[in-house]
Chain A
Amino acid sequence: MVDTATVTEFAKLGAGIAIGFGAVGAGLGIGVATKGLMDAVSRQPEVAGKAFGFFLLGAALAEACALYGFVIAAKLVGLF
Chain B
Amino acid sequence: MEHWIYSLNLFGKTFTVNLDTIFTMWFAMLVLIIFAFFATRKLSIVPSKLQAASEALMNFFYGTLDTMMPSKNRQHVPFVASLFLFILFANLMGQLPLRIIHLKSGELASPTNDINVTASLAILVLIYYITAGLIAKKWKFFIHEFSFQGIIMFLVELLEMFTRPLSLAIRLFANIFAGEVLISICLGISAKFLPLPVMFFELIVAFIQATVFMMLTIAYVSSAASVEE
Binding site for B on A (CB under 8 A): 56-57, 60-61, 63-64, 67-68, 70-71, 74, 79-80
- Min Cβ gap B91→A in Å is 12
Binding site for A on B (CB under 8 A): 1, 167, 170-171, 173-175, 177-178, 181, 205, 208-209, 211-212, 215
Q: Is the CB of A74 within 8 A of B177?
A: yes
Q: Is the CB of A79 within 8 A of B1?
A: yes
A-B contact pairs, 18 of them (CB 8 A): A56-B208, A57-B208, A60-B205, A60-B209, A63-B175, A64-B171, A64-B175, A64-B212, A67-B174, A67-B175, A68-B170, A68-B174, A71-B173, A71-B174, A71-B177, A79-B1, A80-B1, A80-B177
B174 CB contact (under 8 Å) in A56, A57, A64:
A64
Find chain B residues with CB under 8 A from A80 CB. Answer: 1, 177
A80 to B114, CA, bound (A): 10
B178 CB contact (under 8 Å) in A56, A57, A60, A70:
A70
